[in-house]
Structure 1
């Protein structure tokens, strides 16, 4: 590690001001950033901790019936407080990492980092969420732009994530045992006007929607509707944990399991 300053703002306005300092970096739960600093892969001069901002914490429904999750809300809080209204999201949060990770890691930090094997990007894209920042609102379909790449601008902070609540949903993860990240994770959400399917962990381009599965499931929301379909392996990750063809196969398996679990 090396020397750096730490700012502890208590409001979004103070956080935005602190982020204006030279080489400032937002710090959520630190589950990605701290290991990155230890490996000297990043060298910010100022860390701006978002954990002390009350308006960025908590889970609630707004007047439009959307589930609103503060950007600094931990995975454990989402798992507990979203269980009644959005069990698919709560189930996803309850299986991220281990208890230590779930009690420190935040939804905003996960979405800002956009790790290609992270779970929350699948929920945000699969549910058609809106990512709210200190400056604007970004539709999930526009937010994710490739591996570790998002539409966030420099100094922009995720303050809230707004989820439409589906009629049925489930997230199924085939995890890599050592890291507990998704080797393949699939989030399925059924709405009145159709089905959305988002896949994480599998593609070199990060989280993506599986359009062919969405069309099939919108016509018939049942596992057998996916018979004969297979995800395209061309852009799948090919590494020591699994070939591209293997990951493409697992995408189909996990999607069927998600549909069955969602009912």
Structure 2
């Protein structure tokens, strides 16, 4: 989506700080965060102070910042308000019987965030809300959601941004190769990704105007794909049409 004619730069920078802070596994100083986001340190310090005054950030004993209780409240409220997780949780656990990781994810900018990701062999290790972003061009769910967008929109998505996206230590995709993959996803109606280690991800969209994706990740053959795709398509349809009381 294009920026409005007069975007609110302060709001954009504040949200960039909030996202970066939410993804840091340890408390972080304002100068370190400014370097990470390539923003001016005084501005980041002022933004963090504002976030702290709102309860969205807080300082530890070393005066470093970490997410405050407000951000957890917003996360819980947004998940409840959207209804997506409440709908999906009825239909995702039964998919574990197929022996693969089951995932539900959404696309934000050029990143996939997983709202549900469970390994049937160790369900306690990973569960609901796996929020750390993953490059969409390398993700089955990311590809199936990118495929819903026009080529122009995808090009805009991968154009340099202000503020810059949080570095994820992954090289940007080759856009020509990406467009070829997206064309195939549109034709097939699903995304299939194979990693160098032989692990595969199969994903389908949720909704006619897709707002999420569901997928399997594991080791399976091409012969298994049609049956697994049918299972995911049925789950996606149920998630989309179910009303949460």
Shorter-chain TM range is: 0.3 to 0.5
> When you count helix as a share of all residues, which structure comes out higher?
2
TM-score w.r.t. the length of structure 2 is: 0.33
Which one has more relative contact order, counting CA pairs under 8 Å at least 6 apart?
2
